[in-house]
Amino acid sequence: AQSVTQLGSHVSVSEGALVLLRCNYSSSVPPYLFWYVQYPNQGLQLLLKYTSAATLVKGINGFEAEFKKSETSFHLTKPSAHMSDAAEYFCAVRNSGGSNYKLTFGKGTLLTVNP
């Protein structure tokens, strides 16, 4: 079964600094990978997804992620953090088996942005 591991349950950066949130996946088939963001008391919002096309994926709000097969990684980055980026971020992999498809999520990384 496919799975994802998010390294670091809490990341703290200064406003204007680089944001790097780490995600490693395990999959026996070419994966579909996703990053979602959850603001306090909100649902999950899709930031970006990788579906085996371009390895560098651009998403909303200035975020991007690079799929690296050799490292089984799909890290999320943003060049300059804004206060509004403070939220919890989830990496997910689409599990597939027969006719069953579902998203399996990592434990999440809470991003804090300091002024």
**Does the footprint of other proteins cover residue 108 (CB under 8 A)?**
yes
Residues 58 to 87 in contact with other proteins, rule: CB under 8 A? none
Q: Which of 3, 12, 14, 51 binds other proteins (CB under 8 A)?
A: 51
Compute the least distance from the CB of residue 46 to other proteins, in Å.
7
Stretch binding other proteins (CB under 8 A), from 20-28, 44-52, 56-64, 70-78:
44-52
Assign 3-class secondary structure to the chain. Answer: CCEEEEECCEEEEECCCCEEEEEEEECCCCCCEEEEEECCCCCEEEEEEECCCCCEEECHHHCEEEEECCCCEEEEEECCCCHHHCEEEEEEEEEEECCEEEEEECCCEEEEEEC
Q: Which of 25, 32, 74, 89 binds other proteins (CB under 8 A)?
A: 32
Total residues contacting other proteins by CB under 8 A comes to 22
